[in-house]
Amino acid sequence: MSGASKPKGWGVRLIQAAALLLVFGVMAGARELLPEVGAGSNIAAVGFLLLSGVLASELCEIVGLPHLTGYLLAGIVAGPHVLHLLHHETIVALAPVNALALALIALAGGAELRLSDLRAGLKSLAWSTLLQSTLVMMACAAAFLVGARYLPFMRVLPERAIWGGAILWGVMSITRSPAALLGILSQTRAQGPVTRFGLNFVMSSDVVVIVFLALAFMVAGPLIVPGSEFSWSDLREVGHEVFGSIAIGTTFGLVLSAYFKLVGRALLVVLVGLGFGLTDILKYMHFDPLLVFIIGGMVVQNLSKQGDKLLHAVEETGSIVYVVFFATAGAHLDIPLLQQLWPVALGLAAARGLFTYGVHRWSCHLADDPPTVRLYGWAPLVSQAGLALGLALVVANEYPSFGAGFQSLAVAMVAINEMVGPVLFKWALDRAGETRSGTDADPGPIEPAIGPETA
């Protein structure tokens, strides 16, 4: 969107910087004068994150960084580990906003998946999903085995348990961030082969990760816990979760399509109610809310004529929710932990990025993808967020012998990918010429395409 507007002058930028400092100053003064403001602090926190996130994102445009980086930086600086303007309890209390944001992100992502695009890029999607989900997982597990000697919580474990931890790390490494992808696309309004490839791959990868997660726990459990056995019940559970979520998502999409066609009013209220209420119900019933909303969005887009109406309604609601969601994510980042574990976390994040890039180039060769996808299609696969952290939490609860350290390392690596991934994706879209700001980019490196591409 910024690409479509005229560049702002330095006078406007100075006013924005002054306003940002003023917002931080007001929040700091409020915390000094009213350190215990009770429930009202949550409302103040939402307003503060919204204002500071928007202003910081505008200033990030000066150096070509995406708006998401501004939202994250505003949360990091204001959070409990830097300026302490927001307490940890306040950040935790904003979890319902995150649930709403994820629901809207999944709905919008599903509505962006058009069957015609999926069919056109099926060969590319199949090769990428197969290789990214297997080779990258195994390579990242191997990297974890190498790094385990530098991790105090892993060195004390028997070798078989370290192998089990590596398997779980490998699965966590193939998780992606639909939120980061759609956040960048909502800013840039990008269109083109790299955009379509990123949408198709990232939004469909949730199903693959759920299945791989169940298989990983089946294999890793006996390695980590002596005397435990393979449990086929885990496969039954994942079958219930995946197929049940698809069925519920299909029904949900049909109902939502009918509402849009027959009523079509109070769409904001409906989406907010669904984001808050349906998410909790689905979790209670052991279904995957993200998958349900993705399927629901796909049904609305492909089995009705209400797809554009849904996307417009989500855009109106999400423009505010996205800011708070990513600013809250920034405030959640544990900066002291990142300082402590950054050498190993940085090495594992770099290895994951290199493996993702290399496997992407190979899958593009096999699928005969276009040059732009071959060169830049790996960029939307770098970001990580909620799904990776959720998996780390499950590991921490399931295996107390090393789970806390595993979770801390995962938080550190996700923090790196959360900061770097959106920047790389926006850069890739600009270089591929798929954003308005990227149309003037030098297409030179795309011309000498020796080999295939991506869809």
Residue 237, pLDDT score = 76
Residue 453, pLDDT score = 30
Residue 329, pLDDT score = 77
Q: What is d(CA 246, CA 293) in angstroms, rounded to the nearest whole number?
A: 9
Q: Which domains does the chain have, with CATH numbers?
A: 2-93 (no CATH), 99-446 (1.20.1530.20)
3-state helix, strand, coil in the chain (%, to 5): 80, 0, 20
Strand, coil or helix: 175: coil
pTM: 0.76
Residue 171, pLDDT score = 92
Strand, coil or helix: 328: helix
> How far are the Cα atoms of 85, 88, 342 from residue 336, in angstroms, in the given order?
17, 14, 10
Q: What is d(CA 121, CA 275) in angstroms, rounded to the nearest whole number?
A: 30
Q: What is d(CA 30, CA 53) in angstroms, rounded to the nearest whole number?
A: 18
Residue 234, pLDDT score = 66
Which backbone phi and psi does 399 adopt, to 5 degrees? Answer: -130, 85
Residue 347, pLDDT score = 93
Residue 3, pLDDT score = 41
DSSP state of 278: I
Which of 76, 88, 80, 81 lies closest to 52 in space, CA to CA? 76
Burial group, residue 269, by CB count within 10 angstroms (0-12, 13-18, 19+): exposed
The tens-digit pLDDT sequence of the chain (455 residues) is 344 456 677 888 899 899 999 999 988 887 777 665 544 467 788 888 889 988 998 898 888 788 878 888 888 888 888 888 888 778 878 777 777 877 887 888 888 888 888 888 889 999 999 999 999 999 999 999 998 888 888 888 888 889 999 999 999 999 988 878 888 887 788 889 999 999 889 888 877 887 888 788 888 888 888 766 666 666 777 778 888 989 999 999 999 999 988 887 777 778 888 877 888 888 888 888 888 888 999 999 999 888 888 888 887 766 677 788 778 877 877 777 667 778 898 999 999 999 999 999 999 999 999 999 999 999 999 998 767 877 887 888 788 888 878 888 888 888 888 889 999 999 999 999 998 654 443 333 333 333 333 33
